[in-house]
Structure 1
Amino acid sequence: MFTTERLILRSYVESDLDDLLRLWEDPLVQPLVTSDSVTLLGPKFKETIRAQIERATFGAIIALKETGEFMGQGAITVLEPKNRDGTFGICLLPKFWSNGYGTEATKFMVDHSFKWFNLNRMSLAVFGNNARAIAVYEKLGFVMEGRKRQAVWMDNRWEDLLTMGILRDEWERRCNERQG
Structure 2
Amino acid sequence: MITIKKIAQESSIGIVVYHYPAATNVELSPELIGELSEIDGIVGVKNTTDQEHTCKVIALTKDNEEFSVLTGFEHLILPTLAVGGHGATGIVHNLVPKEIVQMYDLFTKERDIAGAIAVNQKLLSLYDYVEAEPVPGPVKAGLDMLGIKGGSVRDPLVPASEELKQQMKQALSELGYEVETV
- TM more than 0.5: no
Larger proportion of helix: 2
Which protein, 1 or 2, shows the higher relative CO under an 8 Å CA cutoff with sep ≥ 6?
1
* Larger Rg over CA atoms: 2
Larger proportion of strand: 1
